Structure 1
Amino acid sequence: MTANNRHQLYRSRDERIIAGICGGLAEFFGLEVSRIRLALLLLILFAGLSLWVYIILWLIIPNAPQRLNA
């Protein structure tokens, strides 16, 4: 895999409601963002996933690079 071909996890600039975490995960895995949001909500409500995990991801995952319109 070359440096130009790397698939990296970023917070989404387009699909964001709070921080772009779900949008970034959806882009990374090639899924619909609504499914990621629903899964995260269910994990928080019923599986004991803490909101702290979301906040930590917000701090760790970088924002997507700015796109230049040519």
Structure 2
Amino acid sequence: MSALVRPRDDRMIGGVCAALARRFGTTPTTMRVIFLASCLLPGPQFLLYLALWVFLPSEGSHDRKAW
């Protein structure tokens, strides 16, 4: 299983769907369709997306060093 990080490629907006697709072994397009379909249901899907965008590290961010 791969680590849950937002990839630099396959991003549309924040890379959250691409990260989840890599984690669960599906395509980013499939994950985006699932996310859009889930937004039709009541619940905090959009807030969850925003939280994952903020808290998931970007691919390659662990290589950066602090000042």
Q: Which TM-score band applies after superposition, normalised by the shorter structure?
A: 0.7 to 0.9
Question: Larger C-alpha radius of gyration, 1 or 2?
Answer: 1
Whole-Å separation in 1 of the counterparts to 2:24 and 2:45: 22
> Is the Cα–Cα contact under 8 Å of residues 25 and 36 in structure 1 kept in the other structure?
yes
The equivalent position to 1:15 in structure 2, one of 10, 15, 21, is 10
Match of 2:22 in 1: 27
1:51 corresponds in structure 2 to: 46
Percent identity over the alignment?
33
Report the TM-score when normalising by structure 2.
0.78
1:15-65 CA-to-partner distances (Å, cap 9, x unmatched) read 101000001111111111111000000111124343111100101110011
TM-score, L = length of structure 1: 0.75
- Which stretches of structure 1, 4 residues or more, deviate above 2 A after TM superposition? 46-50
Q: Structure 2, unaligned stretches of length 5 or more? A: 62-67
Kindly tell me the number of residue pairs found equivalent between the two proteins. Answer: 61
Cα–Cα, structure 1 residues 47 and 39, in superposed 2: closer, same or farther, change >3 Å? Answer: farther
The alignment yields a C-alpha RMSD, in angstroms, of 1.7
